[in-house]
Structure 1
Amino acid sequence: MENIVIGSGPSGRLASLELGKLGKEVTLIEKSHIAGTCLNEGCMVICALTDITKFIESNRRFTEHGFLKSQIEISYEKIVEKIVETQKMLRHINQLENESVGNNIVYGKAVIEDDAVCVNNESFEYGNLLVATGARPFIPEIKGREFGLTNRDILKIDDVPEELNIIGGGIIAAEIANIYSTLGSEVNILARSTFLKEISAETKEYVLKKIIPDVEIYENTSVAEAFKDKVLLENDAELKGIPFFATGRTPNSEIVEGIVELNPDRTVKVDEMMKTSVGNIYAAGDVTGGYMLTPVARKEGITAARNMAGHANKISYECIPQNISLNMEVSFVKNEKSLCSDEDKAKIAIPGIAGPSSFWNILAGETGYTEIEFDKKNNRINEINAISPSSVSDLAYLSYLMRMDYDLDDYDEFLEIHPSTDSNYKIIKNMWL
């Protein structure tokens, strides 16, 4: 009984790998490049560019301190060339990894017909099917929308834009703004409601003042029309700059339309076992909506694979850590199921410390910011917002302890590795002050 997986992004690729390891017959179908949005046009591209902007920021700081004198000349063309070169290497590794467990990989556009999937005029019958077709940038119905760039165009533009208007107020908008502002663009962010509503007000204030101070933020602002080199706002004001849409994502669910049940937003409806309304069809990753994050997509793919292989498995979305990749990392996690009353809430706010990559930030007073809310009655962490170079690893650890419902007293057993997880030590220590 063959298992067909359509889409080789984080969910489909990991599902195929898991099925192969479990000794199941697998055909993985991919219409374009293996590894999906994350590697080819999403978070890996953002991370690659942010590595460069972090270096530029460090060079600026060291020059201001007076012990390093250097002038950086940026070649955006060469940056793109090397990103593409690295992507090809990683695609090859990802393909070999799946083939190493006996999986068959087929490239081409898939079409579902009855109990088979057709691709390149060849039909593959399936016992179980996993739809992991991901999502694509959502572009609102704005006149002139065809002039706008999206994350898919980052590796296609010739040079750093002189002026950029980023339409959208979420994480992607902030990351794009950080990159091009550091590379020399004049950047505006046009948020239809509130910019970065995912994080606390104090954390957002630090981001605006210390990390992206040169970016102009327009909240509660809507774009009436986009042009090649400017946007027209609904209040008739004009802003020069190329329009860049960071307005969310829409699911690639057309392939199963009329076959399985869809949610009102056209994402594929699944249960906690990643099963659709059709018994032997599963879905995972961005096509199902929810947290559109690579680690979550991986977890969903593995959950689906285990159920397809007959090993009952359920997914949980509690205490999911998230990150905004800027010149200094901004990470956050919240326990959405906390029943803590307002009178039992306590909040601690502390400055960042000299953890990894922070030492030379101390002189300018830019070591970051951490804010923790916890439940005094039940002795549990409710929420953390953290800005520091190590916040990504810090919150990965702490979110696990939150997810496992550890008592705060249990955190006392945490032993840090100096200096990599020093922030954990200080966060935990301050809970008892």
Structure 2
Amino acid sequence: MSNFDFDLFVIGAGSGGVRASRVAASHGARVAVAEEHRVGGTCVIRGCVPKKLLVYGAHFAEDLKDARHFGWDVPDCKFDWDRLRDNVLAEVTRLEGLYGQTLDNHQVTLFKTRATIVGPQKVRLADGQEISAERILIATGGWPFVPEFPGSEHAITSNEVFHLDTLPKRVVIAGGGYIANEFAGIFNEFGSKVTIVNRGDTILRGYDEQIRDRLLQISMTKGIEFRFNAPFESIEKKEDGSLTVHLGNCDPIDADIVLVAAGRVPNTKGLGLEDVGLELDKEGAIKVGETNQSSVPSIYAVGDVTNRIQLTPVAIREGQAFADSVFGGKPTVVDYANVPSAVFSHPPIGAVGMTEAEARNKLGTVRVYTSDFRAMKNVLAGRNERALYKMIVNEATDQVVGLHMIGPDAPEILQAAAVAVKAGLTKADFDATVALHPSMAEELVLLK
């Protein structure tokens, strides 16, 4: 029998922590998890799941209008924010229950409280109870970053946006990343006046330039306003509860809410990591090797808290690899090459592999193929909105090294295409595939 209370103690019951817990338990480990908020973590409780449900809800604004062009007599419809919000939150609660049930089914002990590390193999719960474990896994994820400036306390983050009492008429969103652009599309479709304020001059840094330029063009056509090179100076709260945002290099903007979407930082504060000599990087992320082991041999970390790739499926892969390696006798290392990603903007973006700029810098000579077209549905609906598909090919090998798409259902199409990029298939392989007609996806095998 072990001299420890548990073989594994996991701090954080998000996607990575839950996967690691149940897999380790299935390998016979005695596992405990501590979660101070709600089981499910960022993705399920206050991230990609409820956000995607809002995206679905927002799409009906255009779908109802388009339906008239397809013969449906659709009356003018009124949107009920309260109903959607409550339905989304109810679904989140249902999923939270399923995550808790998964832990229970695998005999994982759940402590619904905060835990901190007080030794290489010891944690302390909020009530003072100390628990020993042979290994500790930190899976506390990330947390929204809010820069400090006068009035910053009046802003909200993506954590609070799902709980708004009323739908705001005027929304100012700080940031240019995927969270900012996704919520800009959501609120714009719901009828809010949306302004994105970015301290830099680029949205969606890291995505292919042509794709992000197309989103900017479409977003502006839909009525979303942008302010670039405009750092926040202050937020002033008025007597009626409204806000005035004061910016550098442009005029003030009046708003009902200010949503700060300026990125996320590793959630490591107050965990006691420095006290046990655990090494962090300059952003507060836990430094780990390819086996997810930290500078303290008994402590591991997975997910956004390591700040490698901040994506839920990556955290799940890391949690699985950790459990299989440490408790399953199956050494596993996560491959971070060609990880697909999506932006659920309006329209959405899907991407995998290198951008054109990255490919030219790394490979030298590349071939670029594009298809710029209107989806059939948009043609009949009278919408001028155009999709753009882009393929990057290594000139020397004919290997497809990048795919980038913006248009209806782009993430759904990109997932299957990402398999081809991951497998190292060539442009000739795409060309040899018979098109599935009529579909938007067929453009991928018809690129000339």
Tell me the TM-score normalised to structure 2 length. Answer: 0.88
Whole-angstrom distance in 2 between the partners of 1:407 and 1:84 = 44
Give the secondary structure class of the aligned counterpart of 2:111: strand
Aligned partners of 2:234 and 2:247 also within 8 Å: yes
1:60 to 58, 62, 65: 65
Change in Cα spacing, 1:391 to 1:361, as seen in structure 2 (3 Å) is farther
* 2:172 is the alignment partner of 1:165: yes
Letter in 1 for 2:155: G
The separation in 2 between residues aligned to 1:312 and 1:343, in whole angstroms, is 36
SS in 1 for 2:446: helix
2:368 — aligned with what? 347
Amino acid of the residue matched to residue 132 of structure 1?
A
User: Which residue among 94, 109, 116 is the counterpart of 2:122?
Assistant: 116
**2:244 maps to which residue?**
230
Aligned letter for 1:273? Answer: T
Report the AA paired with residue 285 of structure 1. Answer: G
**TM-aligned CA deviation for residue 338 of structure 1:** 5.4
Aligned equivalents of 1:227 and 1:333: distance in 2? 41
Shift of 1:162: 1.1
Does the 8 Å CA contact 1:331/1:392 hold for their aligned counterparts?
Answer: yes
| Counterpart residue number, 2:415 | 396
Mapped contact 2:430–2:444 kept (Cα < 8 A):
no
Tell me the equivalent position of 2:182: 175
| SS of aligned partner of 1:384 | strand
Is 1:149 the counterpart of 2:156? The answer is: yes
Correspondence 1:15 to 2:34? no
Q: Distance in 1 between matches of 2:235 and 2:71?
A: 44
Cα distance between partner residues in 2 of 1:324 and 1:244: 18
- Distance across 1 between alignment mates of 2:111 and 2:435: 45
1:219 alignment counterpart: 228
Partner SS state of residue 346, structure 1: strand
Q: Normalising by structure 1, report the TM-score.
A: 0.91
How does 1:273-422 map onto structure 2 within 5 Å? 273-309=291-327, 310-335=329-354, 344-352=365-373, 354=375, 358=377, 363-366=382-385, 368-411=387-430, 422=439
Q: Match for residue 240 of structure 2? A: none
Tell whether the 8 Å contact from 2:360 to 2:366 is kept in structure 1 after alignment: no
- C-alpha distance in 1, partners of 2:366/2:78? 50
Q: In structure 2, do the counterparts of structure 1 residues 64 and 411 end up closer, same or farther at CA, with 3 Å as the change threshold? A: closer
Q: Structure 1 residue 198: deviation in Å? A: 3.0
What's the CA shift for 1:9? Answer: 0.8
The alignment status of 1:185 with 2:199, answered yes or no, reads no
Letter in 2 for 1:181: N
The amino acid across from 1:208 in the alignment is L
Pick aligned residue for 1:247 from 262, 273, 290: 262
1:6 equivalenced with 2:11 (yes/no): yes
Match of 1:135 among 131, 136, 142: 142
Distance 2:372 2:410 in 1: 13
CA distance in 2, matches of 1:66, 1:220: 45
Change (3 A) 1:343 1:273: closer
SS of the residue corresponding to residue 162 of structure 2 reads coil
- Deviation of 1:87 after TM superposition, in Å, equals 1.1
CA separation of 1:359/1:279 partners in 2, compared to 1, >3 Å: closer, same or farther? Answer: same
Residues 124 and 402 (structure 1 numbering): CA distance in 2 closer, same or farther, change over 3 Å? same
**Which residue identity does 1:376 align to in structure 2?**
E
Out of 406, 428, 432, the position equivalent to 2:445 is: 428
Contact 1:284 / 1:300 at 8 angstroms: preserved in 2?
A: yes
Alpha-carbon distance between aligned partners in 2 of 1:223 and 1:340, rounded to the nearest angstrom: 34
Shift of 1:402: 2.0
1:91 to 88, 91, 96: 96
Between 1:102-111 and 1:230-239, the stretch displaced more is 230-239
Tell me, in whole angstroms, the C-alpha distance in 2 between the residues paired with 1:326 and 1:47.
10
Deviation at 1:407, TM superposition (A): 3.4
Once residues 35 and 205 of structure 1 are traced to their aligned partners in structure 2, the CA distance between those partners, rounded to angstroms, is 35
1:73 alignment counterpart: 78
1:43 aligns with 2:48: yes
Q: Which one-letter code corresponds to 1:116 in the other structure?
A: K
Q: Distance in 1 between matches of 2:380 and 2:18?
A: 39
Whether the 8 Å CA contact 1:318–1:335 is kept in 2: the answer is no
The 3 A distance-change label for structure 1 pair 45 and 125 is same
User: In the aligned structure 2, how far is the partner of 1:126 from the partner of 1:134?
Assistant: 21
The residue identity in structure 2 corresponding to 1:231 is V
SS of 1:258's equivalent?
helix
Q: 1:36 offset after TM fit, Å?
A: 0.5
Provide, for residues 22-57 of structure 1, a one-character-per-residue CA deviation record: whole Å limited to 9, x for no partner: 222211111110010111111112101110111111
**Percent of residue pairs bearing the same amino acid type:** 24
Cα distance, 1:210 vs. partner? 2.9
CA contact (8 A) 2:266 2:305 kept: yes
Paired with 1:363 and 1:239, the residues of 2 have a C-alpha distance of 33
CA distance in 2, matches of 1:188, 1:216: 5
Aligned residues: 427
Out of 63-72 and 251-260, give the one that drifted further: 63-72
- C-alpha offsets along residues 11-30 of structure 1, whole Å, 9 cap, x if unaligned? 11111122122222211111
Matched letter for residue 370 of structure 2: A
1:208 and 1:58 map into 2 onto residues whose CA distance is: 21
